[in-house]
């Protein structure tokens, strides 16, 4: 009961802090700082969507940029091609992403370990090439947004990023609330059972195929919602921007850095990687695109070799040491 109270208190404290960040006087008030905050929440949500499949269910996928891209194209086509608001396009893209995820994953789930991961690499390349030559979705040129009315109806603003931040905050609440609920629900227990030992889980009556398909459908749905936000924020979309191995790897590495299979790991990973990425590019220009990857690579090596559970594992280690020291003092 005490642990549950602490967990609930931490959850509401984080939500309160995130809600107040854009209005706290200081360095976070500038447009660039708010841009970084928007990206932190967006990539935390996307990495958490991947974490459902890769962290909790143990199925390492490098193909999640496909679902991210489907969501982006869903919202983009609703606005650019059909002259609608992005909301129905975002929902349609999320549903389509979930359907596509189950369709392509059913045969892939016959593979295990690194064979499944290699198959997801191929899926990204297939969809990237398909969208590059598919003129209905804009082909290689992609889709460029027109100038339309600002506001929540069109989810578009030109003079401020504050509304985009609160849009990302709303997405954060949706994604992280679901994962928080899932951790204590039987679906979460089934996922962790499949991750820790599929054969053992099946011997206890767990339908591993059903669990994995459910995990990837939910993961793809939430990833597509993140893609819909991404296109509204960037006001254009093309295949290399959303359906690339680079984008997929970013979600995976953020989660590994923060902590696989944990609620707060993706947020911590994004809070480290995104400022590193954006500020190095701002300081060193084009060179920054390489510097951030070098530093991030070093961090990943240190995490994997010293603390495989990521930043969350390091925090847990510090907490255990603190409790042990208090016990010794008593």
What is the model's pLDDT at position 178? 95
What is the model's pLDDT at position 327? 64
Which residues, other chains included, contact 85 with Cβ-Cβ below 8 Å and sequence gap of 6+?
A: 78, 79, 153, 154, 155
The per-residue pLDDT string of the chain (330 residues; one tens digit each, 9 = 90 and over) reads 566 777 888 899 999 999 998 888 777 778 888 999 999 999 999 999 999 999 999 888 888 999 999 999 999 999 999 999 999 999 999 999 999 999 988 888 777 767 788 888 888 989 999 999 998 998 989 999 988 888 999 999 988 889 999 999 999 999 999 999 999 899 999 999 999 888 898 888 889 889 999 999 999 999 999 999 999 999 999 999 999 888 888 888 899 888 888 999 999 999 988 988 888 877 776 555 567 677 777 877 877 777 667 778 777 777 777 777 666 555
Residues 38 and 245 sit within 8 Å (Cβ to Cβ): no
Q: How far apart are the C-alpha atoms of 271 and 26, rounded to whole Å?
A: 18
Q: How far apart are the C-alpha atoms of 260 and 323, rounded to whole Å?
A: 24
Domains of the chain: 2-329 (1.10.3470)
What is the model's pLDDT at position 130? 93
| Dihedral angle sign, alpha carbons of residues 146, 147, 152, 155 | positive
What is the model's pLDDT at position 286? 59
Q: How far apart are the C-alpha atoms of 235 and 156, rounded to whole Å?
A: 9
- pTM for the complete prediction? 0.91
CA nearest 94: which of 108, 73, 77? 73
What is the model's pLDDT at position 122? 87
Q: How far apart are the C-alpha atoms of 161 and 264, rounded to whole Å?
A: 25
């Amino acid at each position: 009961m005490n642990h549950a109270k602490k967990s609930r208190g931490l959850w509401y404290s984080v939500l309160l802090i995130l809600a107040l960040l854009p209005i706290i006087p200081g360095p976070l008030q500038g447009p660039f700082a708010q841009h970084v905050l928007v990206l932190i929440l967006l990539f935390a949500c996307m990495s958490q969507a991947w974490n459902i499949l890769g962290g909790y269910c143990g199925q390492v996928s490098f193909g999640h940029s496909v679902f991210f891209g489907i969501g982006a194209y869903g919202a983009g086509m609703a606005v650019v091609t059909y002259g609608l608001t992005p909301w129905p396009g975002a929902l349609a893209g999320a549903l389509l992403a979930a359907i596509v995820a189950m369709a392509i994953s059913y045969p892939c789930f016959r593979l295990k370990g690194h064979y499944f991961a290699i198959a997801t690499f191929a899926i990204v390349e297939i969809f990237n090439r398909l969208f590059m030559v598919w003129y209905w979705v804009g082909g290689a040129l992609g889709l460029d947004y027109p100038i339309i009315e600002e506001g929540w109806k069109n989810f578009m603003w030109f003079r401020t990023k504050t509304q985009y931040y609160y849009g990302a905050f709303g997405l954060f609440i949706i994604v992280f609330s679901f994962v928080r609920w899932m951790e204590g629900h039987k679906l979460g227990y089934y996922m962790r059972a499949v991750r820790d030992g599929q054969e053992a889980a099946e011997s206890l009556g767990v339908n591993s195929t059903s669990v994995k398909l459910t995990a990837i459908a939910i993961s793809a749905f939430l990833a597509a919602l993140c893609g819909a936000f991404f296109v509204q924020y960037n006001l254009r979309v093309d295949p290399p921007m959303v359906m690339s191995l680079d984008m997929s790897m970013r979600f995976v590495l953020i989660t590994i850095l923060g902590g696989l299979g944990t609620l707060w790991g993706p947020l911590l990973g994004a809070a480290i990687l995104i400022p590193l990425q954006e500020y190095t590019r701002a300081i060193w220009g084009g060179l920054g695109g390489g510097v951030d990857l070098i530093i991030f690579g070093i961090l990943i090596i240190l995490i994997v070799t010293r603390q495989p559970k990521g930043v969350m594992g390091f925090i847990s280690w510090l907490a255990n040491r603190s409790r042990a020291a208090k016990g010794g003092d008593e």
